[in-house]
Amino acid sequence: MPELAAHVRDVPVNQIREITEAAWSTPGAIVLSIGEPGFALPRHVLDAGIECLDRDETNYTPNAGIPALREAFAARFREQQGVNIGAERVYVVDGAQQGLHFAMSLLLSPGDEILIPNPGYPTFAMTSRLLHAVPVQYPLYPQNDFQPHMEDIEALITPKTRVIMLNSPSNPLGAVISEESTRQLVELAVRHDLWIISDECYEAFTFDVPHVSPARFDSHVPGEARVFTSLTLSKTYGLTGLRIGALICPPGLEQKMNNVMESIVSCVASPSQYAALAALTGPQDYVSRARDHYRSNRDAASALLAEKGIPFLGAQGAFYLWADVSHVSGGNVRAWVRAFLADSGVSFAPGTAFGSIGEGWIRIALCGGQQELLDGVARLPAKA
């Protein structure tokens, strides 16, 4: 067989998938290693997708998405972040993952560097490698509560750096970047003339702290604006399989965006777009119910960890708890989660799935049922 491209050969195994697939094939296992919201889709959302098929509205849509959906995303962003953006800056994409690929395709040439968080979501590195760019990890240290520090990021900037990747609320940390740090990060990008890609997948789920988008501190003048905001309905409405997200772009890039969109996917499936429109414009009560459920799971699991003396980061957002199991993991948390699944029947994502700083840590998904979550966490060995 001829060789595969080098950049594909070098993409590492996704350790979340590795442990989760092992858990799925373990009868009776409690799976706390994956972030899949358990809520059923509301009827009006399903109906909107089905009605689109019934109308036989199954042709191509405009590259950037149906106008009503672009406007719904823009209106929501205006309302939540107070940022005055128009629908022409919104591109409907096949989930946040494609939005990230899309933004990186527009910004990164081969050999360019992108600064990504460590610990951070694994595809930030995978996607940039696929584009022949170079992911450079900026550290989020336990002693700083895993918050980004400007001097750590600034020290990594070279003439090849093009992009700073941000993710708040964070997967895997549940950490939320403060308004002041967000402002400083945008100022840093301006000082070094860099782009920002802001992954705001979990924007709907913060607990007692606001979610502040870097777009608030960006210029809105074409040629000066530098923030790309990646949004998804996968987490907010629990519709991961419909594959709908949005990328909000700096103004003035419309033609270039259309070209990139055309060459990657042309447009997103129309039934998914109509379902998304119904989700964004219909009743929102199930989003607040989901938030209350995650908060209650966070509180219950945090209390159990505290009882066992296991250190963890107090989650301010998303639906994950980041816990320190270095008292049992023996310096190899990836091997330890496999052994723990075999011995105790519970899967957690190993911290090393998210970068080297995750050694000794696990990510506990809070999005399932509470009893199962507590049964799983109860099996963790206490710290003496």
Residues that bind ligand PLP (CB under 6 A): 35, 95-97, 121, 167, 171, 199, 201, 232, 234, 240, 245
Residue nearest to ligand PLP (CB): 95
Cα–Cα dist 308/175, whole Å: 22
- Spatial neighbors of 171 by CB under 8 A, at least 6 apart, are 35, 121, 201, 202, 318, 320, 363
Report which secondary-structure segment, H or E, holds 347.
Answer: strand 346-350
- Annotate 28-45 with DSSP letters as a single string: T-EEESS----PPPPHHH
310 vs 349, which CB is nearer to ligand PLP?
Answer: 349
Q: How far is the CB of 49 from ligand PLP (least distance, A)?
A: 17
Cα–Cα dist 17/341, whole Å: 14
12 vs 241, which CB is nearer to ligand PLP?
Answer: 241
Question: Which residues does residue 245 pair with via DSSP β-bridges, in sequence order?
Answer: 93, 232
Report which secondary-structure segment, H or E, holds 137.
Answer: strand 134-139
The answer to whether 225 and 218 are in contact (CB under 8 A) is: yes
Question: CB 197: neighbour CB atoms within 10 A?
Answer: 27
Q: How far is the CB of 82 from ligand PLP (least distance, A)?
A: 23
The answer to whether 298 and 321 are in contact (CB under 8 A) is: yes
Cα–Cα dist 171/11, whole Å: 20
Cα–Cα dist 81/206, whole Å: 14
Cα–Cα dist 175/177, whole Å: 7
Helix %, strand %, coil % for the chain, to 5? Answer: 45, 15, 40
- Please report, as a single letter, which amino acid is at residue 272: S
Q: For the chain, first and last CA: distance in Å?
A: 54
71 vs 199, which CB is nearer to ligand PLP?
Answer: 199
Q: How far is the CB of 35 from ligand PLP (least distance, A)?
A: 5
Cα–Cα dist 122/352, whole Å: 10
172 vs 376, which CB is nearer to ligand PLP?
Answer: 172
What's the residue count for the chain?
384
Cα–Cα dist 87/262, whole Å: 19
Q: How far is the CB of 285 from ligand PLP (least distance, A)?
A: 22
Report helix, strand or coil for 174. Answer: coil
Cα–Cα dist 76/373, whole Å: 32
How would you classify the pairing of strands 161-167 and 113-118? parallel
